[in-house]
Structure 1
């Protein structure tokens, strides 16, 4: 590990940080406001209702919210006699619809420090556990396409659950897509830090209001308070 602190341009000028060929970003909680728990809960309950379960056990709602494994999803569906594929299609559809509605209504937006990415003179990409189509919407809705050279979310399939971070699958695909050998991954969760490490990348953990007091069991290479610290880290200038 290098060191954990807020990085400044002065630090870079003194040669304390590394230079990276590219930079990758998580989406929710890094580029845009994360989805609210109330919205996610309502979408999950709506998915259960869509397949005929009007009063799901709160524990099962929580399990779906927290991101189940394939085995956990199948076990949950078995308790209600549901077809996992049918339920998961309903869950993904309602989850995405709730997110797009929140963006369109102005309930979720981009962070005000996102403009700092324009000063990152390196290839840039997005790697998220959110749906690929949701990331596509976000980039289009907020006119962010020019900022990024590639983006990866997961398809709306049960199989995609095993490839969510901390699995480095999509992080590694983004690095290959950009054709670079070194990159920095900026995230807001422990799974982001772990995914970066498993992919052989350095990580920057950004602290915002939703994760201000989060305690990590792994150490990122950098902790930052804003995306405004990123250009100096990446370029070393």
Structure 2
């Protein structure tokens, strides 16, 4: 079994519970309202909630003659604010098995497709700053959509920060597994309750139930 220098983690669904769809939906509606669209088509609200592509964003903004950069800044700002409120209100929490990482002496990093500001908040809220040596979320800019997973951009930046190319990437989606492949990394797919029925078209190096399983992989036990 490989001896990894570092372990990188996706955030939502791996370290913390995923955001509620209703939270993201209301945040998207608020973003439309913030740029003067009070009656956005519900299909367009769904389009910008999650998994947005540059092409989809362009089409949605064209439907309302919106500036893409201004709308995307509003979308990310409202999404990040709504997610912070989830944590503060106790509606969303970390996973208990994050405690397993205390048994490892690897360098740790976070690479998320969520907003960088949201990741910063989570690190502070759970007092995780000493645990993670580097972390990346998306910048609040349209260009960040092209850089998110499955593109390896942020993974490669995290590896550069840690000074290694020997790392395991732990995620809960196909885009995580594919991003690891593109970056030349092994991957561990965490099959939690929300990903129980997910079928992958790309094969992860490992499939695990939780972060305790990741510890076993990292220690060779």
The interval holding the TM-score normalised by the smaller chain is over 0.9
Structure 1 residue runs without a partner (length 5+): 1-16
1:79 has 2:79 as partner: no
Contact 1:120 1:230 in 2 (8 A): no
Deviations 1:195-214 (A, max 9, x none): 00000000000011111111
- Specify the alignment match of 1:160 in structure 2: 144
Which of 182, 203, 219 aligns to 1:219? It is 203
1:133 has 2:120 as partner: no
Contact 1:19 1:233 in 2 (8 A): no
Deviations 1:100-153 (A, max 9, x none): 000111111100100001112211100000111111110110011121111111
Distance 2:202 2:56 in 1: 25
Structure 2 residue runs without a partner (length 5+): none
Distance 1:165 1:91 in 2: 19
Distance 1:172 1:48 in 2: 33
Helix, strand or coil for the counterpart of 2:4?
Answer: coil
Q: Which moved more, 1:21-30 or 1:66-75?
A: 66-75
Helix, strand or coil for the counterpart of 2:48?
Answer: helix
> Could you say what the CA RMSD is over the residues aligned between the two structures, in angstroms?
1.0
State the structure with bigger RCO (CA 8 A, min sep 6), 1 or 2: 1
Q: Which moved more, 1:186-195 or 1:79-88?
A: 79-88
Helix, strand or coil for the counterpart of 1:126?
Answer: strand
Which of 26, 32, 41 aligns to 2:10? It is 26
- Specify the alignment match of 2:156 in structure 1: 172
Helix, strand or coil for the counterpart of 2:127?
Answer: coil
Give me the TM-score of the superposition, normalised by structure 2. Answer: 0.97
Helix, strand or coil for the counterpart of 1:145?
Answer: coil
- Specify the alignment match of 2:50 in structure 1: 66
Contact 1:132 1:154 in 2 (8 A): yes
Quote how far apart the aligned CAs of 1:50 are.
Answer: 1.3
Larger-gyration structure (1/2): 1
Quote how far apart the aligned CAs of 1:18 are.
Answer: 2.1
Question: Runs of 4 or more off by more than 4 Å in structure 1?
Answer: none
Summarize the alignment of residues 87-126 of structure 1 with structure 2, pairs less than 5 Å apart: 87-126=71-110
Contact 1:20 1:183 in 2 (8 A): yes
- Specify the alignment match of 1:8 in structure 2: none
